[in-house]
């Protein structure tokens, strides 16, 4: 599907990001694997990618800090000399809390990792993509962007709603420059995010409300990302592809 393009996947030491990074490599991309705290997991992803015959590096930093983002982009450019695909995957609930119990500090932290990071990373890669005359930016939103999520994840849902809207705005602005911007909105996926923040009984109860009667896997998100990053999506712009097992249908 690819022939040596370079991809950067944020938050790719585990979960959906890990699966996407490995999937892109398996289909011909060299990959920059991003992590903030999970160094050993990121190194394992790099080894998995190198085992496919593709090149990989691990870059560490806070995607909500402009200085860290700029440094990481510099490391990617120094190693590969180009960047063709950015997957803005990094995100977290940070902490579950009701709207009434929400603090300004927690609100800001949730917005920073889930929404501000998309703006910072996307803006930072523009010089390379504009110089190349082409690029693909794929933002990972969430089904919660449309449903509002649960009462304990309102800030996360609001941030993901911002990601979907930002995707459309970026698409209008960057499309004429040859940079295609789209998004994927996963539903309930079996990831470390839910292992950390969602009780097992709640997960099982929620899964029964999904027409397929199960959570999705990180690998089941990869296909949509591969499609949007590939030439097969050359006329797809500003779309948010829902991958949720049928729990939310248009």
Three-class DSSP category at 180: strand
For 37, 100, 152, 158, 194, the CA distances from 202, given in Å and listed in that order, are: 27, 22, 13, 21, 10
What residue numbers bound the domain in which 134 lies? 6-243
pLDDT digits 0-9 by tens, 104-160: 999 999 999 999 999 999 999 999 999 999 999 999 999 999 999 988 999 999 999
249 in a structural domain = no
149 in a structural domain = yes
Q: Which helix (H) or strand (E) holds 26?
A: helix 15-26
Looking at the structure of the chain, the number of domains it has is 1
**Tokens 């950390």 belong to residue:** 196
Q: How far is CA 107 from the centre of its chain?
A: 20
1 in a structural domain = no
228 in a structural domain = yes
Q: What is the CATH number of the domain that holds 131?
A: 3.40.50.720
Q: At what angle do helices 15-26 and 39-51 cross, to 10 degrees?
A: 20
Catalytic residues: 156
248 in a structural domain = no
Q: Is the pLDDT of residue 63 over 70?
A: yes
Q: What average pLDDT does the chain have? A: 95
At residue 209 the predicted structure's pLDDT band, cuts being 50, 70 and 90, is confident
- Over residues 194-222, the mean pLDDT reads 86
What is the spatial distance between Cα 174 and Cα 177, in angstroms, rounded to a whole number?
A: 5
């Amino acid at each position: 599907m690819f022939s040596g393009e370079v991809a950067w996947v944020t938050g790719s030491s585990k979960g959906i990001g890990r699966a996407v990074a490995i999937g892109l490599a398996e289909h011909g991309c060299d990959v920059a694997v991003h992590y903030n705290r999970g160094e050993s997991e990121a190194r394992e992803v790099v080894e998995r990618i190198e085992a496919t015959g593709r090149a990989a590096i691990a870059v560490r930093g806070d995607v909500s800090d402009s200085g860290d983002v700029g440094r990481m982009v510099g490391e990617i450019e120094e190693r590969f000399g180009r960047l063709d695909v950015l997957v803005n995957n990094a995100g977290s609930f940070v902490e579950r809390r009701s709207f009434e119990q929400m603090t300004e500090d927690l609100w800001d932290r949730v917005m920073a990792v889930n929404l501000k990071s998309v703006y910072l990373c996307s803006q930072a890669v523009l010089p390379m993509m504009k110089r190349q005359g082409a690029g693909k930016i794929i933002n990972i939103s969430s089904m919660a962007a449309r449903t509002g999520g649960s009462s304990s994840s309102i800030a996360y849902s609001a941030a993901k709603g911002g990601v979907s809207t930002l995707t459309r705005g970026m698409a209008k602005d960057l499309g004429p420059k040859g940079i295609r911007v789209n998004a994927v909105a996963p539903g309930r996926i079996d990831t470390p995010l839910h292992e950390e923040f969602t009780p097992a009984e709640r997960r099982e109860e929620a899964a029964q409300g999904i027409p397929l009667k199960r959570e999705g896997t990180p690998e089941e998100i990869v296909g949509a990302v591969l499609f949007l990053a590939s030439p097969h999506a050359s006329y797809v712009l500003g779309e948010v592809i829902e991958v949720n097992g049928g729990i939310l249908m248009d």
